């Protein structure tokens, strides 16, 4: 079960590495839908999901940063208690990456608020 979960979410990560913005947008939309519909079932793949979102924040593409931040807010609001304790540091650094993103001031400020709420 954990292996299947990792393979499915690894495919999102692999697709996101392409060069086309529309494909990246579709991948992030799909990730959001997966998290929204069955995020409570995610167990072993949280580090992969968080690392992918952190990478999006560092890409500095406005639309993708917005989409990834929606995923991050969903994780924080709905699945924080489901995250393994060893993912907490990665969650904090991922949220921090969005705080440093220069593409959207509202996202940066909201990320700072999320950090306070997590702490």
Q: 45 near 9, Cβ under 8 Å?
A: yes
Task: List pLDDT tens digits, range 33-61.
Answer: 999 999 999 999 999 999 999 999 998 89
Q: 95 near 114, Cβ under 8 Å?
A: yes
The pTM is what?
0.92
CA distance 51 to 104: 20
Task: List pLDDT tens digits, range 94-114.
Answer: 999 999 988 999 999 999 999
- Secondary structure tally for the chain: helices H, strands E: 6, 0
Q: 49 near 90, Cβ under 8 Å?
A: no
């Amino acid at each position: 079960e954990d292996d299947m979960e990792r393979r499915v979410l690894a495919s999102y990560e692999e697709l996101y590495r392409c060069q086309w913005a529309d494909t990246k947008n579709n991948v992030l939309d799909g990730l959001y839908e997966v998290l929204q519909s069955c995020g409570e079932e995610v167990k072993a793949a949280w580090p992969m999901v968080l690392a992918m979102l952190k990478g999006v924040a560092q890409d500095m593409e406005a639309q993708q940063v917005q989409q990834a931040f929606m995923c991050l807010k969903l994780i924080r609001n709905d699945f924080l208690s489901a995250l393994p304790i060893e993912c907490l540091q990665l969650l904090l650094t991922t949220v921090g990456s969005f705080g440093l993103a220069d593409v959207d001031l509202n996202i940066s400020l909201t990320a700072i608020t999320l950090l306070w709420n997590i702490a």
